[in-house]
Amino acid sequence: MKIRSILFATLSVAVLASCGGRVSDVTKIQGTVVPEGITEVSVKIENVIDTVVPVTDGRFAVSVPTNVATAGRVLADNDQYGVTFIPDGTPLTVVLDETSKATSKYPKISVQEKFNAYNAEEDAVMEVYMAKQSEIYSDTTLTQQERGVKFEEYFDGFIGPYIDRHVEAAKANTDNFISILAINNVNGQIEDTLMDSLIQALTPDLQENRYIRTMRKALDARLQTAEGMHFTDFTVNSVVGMTRSIPPQPKYAEVKFSDYVGKGTYVLVDFWSPWCGPCKREIPNIKTVYEKYKGKGLEVLSLAVWERQPVQVTIDTAAELGMDWLHVNNCGSVPTDIYGVEGIPHLMLIGPDGTILKRGFHGLEAIEAAVAEYIK
């Protein structure tokens, strides 16, 4: 699940569109820097402004173009202090300290204040979520597997209201920056048809935002490889054995997805990576279903994607987890780009003729149900 703070760390700042209700074409920012000794701040709006503003007696002032679909950042002291602002055309007040904030002089018409309220609610929800996660994973009376199961149960109850809140926020802010955060927070958690409708409802300028374009690209890939569609082939350079050198080294060769699927058997495809905790927790579920159905025409193919370590780590981890089935490693982002996978683990069931039968399910009950629907 994606969290707003992660989005800001990777987005920095996105440039979007504008809406009505603005007071001025220029947003004036009056700022105070509480920590002593800071002589300048940087003000950034991607592709719009990146400037340094002097600080005199702890105060600074700057004006930026109004665009409520844009988020900017005011930063100081090598980014130790910073705050996100929405240039909404109302006079903004920025305070940089340990709890930096940006507020508007006219809160009733300010997108900044709506943004603040959205963030405050999200922070409160995530504080409870993180506390519960910590509580579960620090429970020494449970085994690691039991902790994983207990957290999954909690998450299943958490995610529904979480999604509903952000979907409503996206629908209510189709012309400003809040919609980008809201859509990002449910990306990968909602049906593709709903995701498509949320993006389609955005103003044209918002749809051109580079983060929306990235999500749109993945969404289009999923729609093109949806259930009922024939699989899309790809080729990667995978390890097929070991050399006879001392010490032995991985031996690579080109392999195709079509070498494994569409060959007359059902194939459960597992997008995974050795660093991915949820991926490893899913393996026992896959193993249970595989043991039950492998004599009835089921194969399992694990695609190692987004690997961060040498391929030998992938091979060793698969052996440690008892993943005694087909593997293609060193896949990078090739299959995830083609199939629009934005989070792992991701499971997909492909039929004997290469038709994608099911995708996007997880957990023992869902995996077995998907397989049992086709293999009796």
Assigned fold of 235-372: Glutaredoxin (3.40.30)
pLDDT score for 68: 87
Per-residue pLDDT of the chain (376 residues; tens, 9 = 90+): 444 433 443 343 333 333 444 469 999 999 999 999 999 999 999 889 999 999 999 999 999 999 988 899 999 999 999 999 999 999 999 999 999 999 999 999 999 999 999 999 999 999 999 999 999 999 999 998 899 889 989 999 999 999 999 999 999 999 999 999 999 999 988 999 999 999 999 999 899 888 899 999 999 999 999 999 999 999 999 987 766 777 777 788 999 999 999 999 999 999 999 999 999 999 999 999 999 999 999 999 999 999 998 888 999 999 999 999 999 999 999 999 999 999 999 999 999 999 999 999 999 999 999 999 999 8
Q: Residue 128: what are its φ and ψ, rounded to 5°?
A: -65, -45
Closest by alpha carbon to 255, among 232, 237, 243? 237
pLDDT score for 243: 67
Task: Please say whether the beta carbons of 1 and 186 come within 8 A.
Answer: no
DSSP letter at 302 equals E
The DSSP line for 141-179 is TS-HHHHHHHHHHHHHHHHHHHHHHHHHHHHHTTTSTHH
Summarize pLDDT for 273-288 with one digit per residue, the tens.
Answer: 999 999 999 999 999 9
Assigned fold of 4-105: Immunoglobulin-like (2.60.40)
| Encoded amino acid at 347, one letter | L
At CB < 8 A and 24+ separation, what contacts does 353-356 make?
A: 353/262, 354/230, 354/231, 354/258, 354/261, 354/262, 355/228, 355/229, 355/230, 355/231, 356/225, 356/226, 356/227, 356/228, 356/229, 356/230, 356/231
| Encoded amino acid at 132, one letter | K
Q: Is the dihedral of CA 108, 126, 220, 10 positive or negative?
A: positive
Task: Please say whether the beta carbons of 328 and 237 come within 8 A.
Answer: no
Buried b (16+ CB within 10 A) or exposed e, 335-345: bbebbbbbebb
Query: Please, what is the Cα angle at 75 between 73 and 76, to 5 degrees?
Result: 170
Other C-beta atoms closer than 10 Å to the C-beta of 285 total 18
pLDDT score for 10: 38
Residues 6+ apart with CB under 8 A from 200: none
Residue 208 CA to residue 334 CA, distance in Å, equals 24
| CATH 3.40.30.10 domain span(s) along the chain | 235-372
Residue 27 CA to residue 19 CA, distance in Å, equals 14
Q: Dihedral angle at the C-alpha atoms of 162, 166, 168, 173, nearest 10 degrees?
A: 170
| CATH 2.60.40 domain span(s) along the chain | 4-105
Residue 281 CA to residue 143 CA, distance in Å, equals 12
Residue 370 CA to residue 375 CA, distance in Å, equals 9
Helix (H) / strand (E) element for 30: namely strand 26-33
Report the predicted TM-score, pTM, of the whole model to 2 decimal places.
0.74
Closest by alpha carbon to 227, among 330, 127, 55, 349? 349
Task: Please say whether the beta carbons of 329 and 297 come within 8 A.
Answer: no
Helix (H) / strand (E) element for 325: namely none
Q: Is the dihedral of CA 267, 273, 274, 276 positive or negative?
A: negative
Summarize pLDDT for 97-143 with one digit per residue, the tens.
Answer: 999 999 999 999 999 999 999 999 999 999 999 999 999 999 999 99
Which class for 243: exposed (0-12), middle (13-18), buried (19 or more C-beta within 10 A)?
exposed
